[in-house]
Structure 1
């Protein structure tokens, strides 16, 4: 996790349940995408490069 991820603008998927407590949150930064567990935002975020994130989204959207 890079320092400063608490200042990022985090958002949840529109597919999240109404309770909003069982999904991940994503923050888009200039150089990377940050992903964290919405149930425990104090834990470190997973960080992935923008190109890899785009590959993942493309793969997931075909499912």
Structure 2
């Protein structure tokens, strides 16, 4: 699912940058949590689309990425 930047309440989100991202690096990912949803965006395009996943799907992704 993709969330459009104009979605209600998205401006109040607290975005956290990946600890693997650097300020000068080309690959920056940010994550924000809402009740029942985890949003992921490209920090270089904060007004762009966001990927929305369930907390369970996000946990599964993190477990797979850490393996």
The count of residues paired between Structure 1 and Structure 2 equals 62
Unaligned runs of 5+ in 2: none
4+ runs of 1 displaced by more than 6 Å? none
Normalised by the length of structure 2, the TM-score is 0.80
- Give a deviation string over 1:5-57, Cα, whole Å, max 9, x none: 22110010111124255311000111110000111111121100011111101
User: 1:27–1:34: 8 Å Cα contact kept in structure 2?
Assistant: yes
Tell me the TM-score normalised to structure 1 length: 0.84
Point out where structure 1 has 5 or more consecutive residues left out of the alignment: none
Query: With CA pairs under 8 Å and 6+ residues apart, which has the higher RCO, 1 or 2?
Result: 2
User: Which residue, 20, 30, 34 being the options, matches 1:15?
Assistant: 20
Cα RMSD over matched residues? 1.5
Say if 2:8 is the partner of 1:3.
yes
Which of 35, 41, 58 pairs up with 2:46? 41
